[in-house]
Chains A and B, each alone.
Chain A
Amino acid sequence: KAGVTQTPRYLIKTRGQQVTLSCSPISGHRSVSWYQQTPGQGLQFLFEYFSETQRNKGNFPGRFSGRQFSNSRSEMNVSTLELGDSALYLCASSMDSPTGELFFGEGSRLTVL
């Protein structure tokens, strides 16, 4: 069974640019969540999507957005990049049950110069 796949794995951008990250969940999983991981703040919840609808949202500015497609694949976008957006962005998928395990991908490492 294939795991959560994230692309690209590494990318470098400059301040002011925008970036789009992609996530393919485990087959059959309809819930997709995104997290940001930095050395200073640790892992922080960005947003969660289920059936193409944003179900939960963390405390991030509006520059961070996401969407989910009908095949459950998800993308997140960060506009007007800032140096502080440099982080590992992790996507996770799960079955739609409160006790369902969250499976993480290996992440997309974004460096903003």
Chain B
Amino acid sequence: QKEVEQDPGPLSVPEGAIVSLNCTYSNSAFQYFMWYRQYSRKGPELLMYTYSSGNKEDGRFTAQVDKSSKYISLFIRDSQPSDSATYLCAMSPTGANSKLTFGKGITLSVRP
């Protein structure tokens, strides 16, 4: 079993839809939980960061962490064609920038 599992996708939704992306993990030592977005031929960029359990909202994006279930989610409201990208979850026991373990990523396409 991989440490971090992410739905493989791909995922295609119409513009304006609510998107839910999820990851599960097995390592209970993970304390830092991140979502990255990667556009084609670019490096990943940090979208959201959460420490331990809880919710965090930033504009149209909401990140949730449930450590009891070892489950994290990213919600995108009012999705836009510009949200079309690969989304990767990442986790670490020691820091938001240290020895990250990534999910394999899911490619999202938002249709106009």
Contact = CB atoms under 8 A, between A and B. Distances in A.
Interface stretch (B44-52, B63-71, B76-84): B44-52
B13 to A, nearest CB: 22
Contact of A90 (B43, B95, B98, B103): B43
Contact of B99 (A42, A48, A101): A48
B102 A43 contact: yes
Contacts of B103: 42
Contact of B105 (A4, A42, A44): A42
A48 B98 CA distance: 8
Interface residues of B, number: 23
A45 B97 contact: no
B90 to A, nearest CB: 8
Interface string B18-55: 00000000000000100000000111111001010000
Contact of B32 (A98, A103, A104, A105): A98
A56 B98 contact: yes
Contacts of A72: none
A101 B97 CA distance: 6
Nearest to A31: B97
A58 B94 CA distance: 14
Contact of A42 (B45, B94, B102): B102
A58 B99 CA distance: 8
Contacts of A44: 102
A66 interface: no
Interface of B: 32, 41-46, 49, 51, 88, 90, 94-105
Given A44-B102, A106-B43, 16 more contacts: A33-B98, A35-B100, A42-B88, A42-B102, A43-B88, A56-B98, A90-B43, A92-B97, A97-B97, A98-B94, A98-B98, A103-B45, A104-B43, A105-B43, A106-B41, A107-B43
Interface of A: 4, 31, 33, 35, 41-45, 48, 55-56, 58, 90, 92, 94-95, 97-107
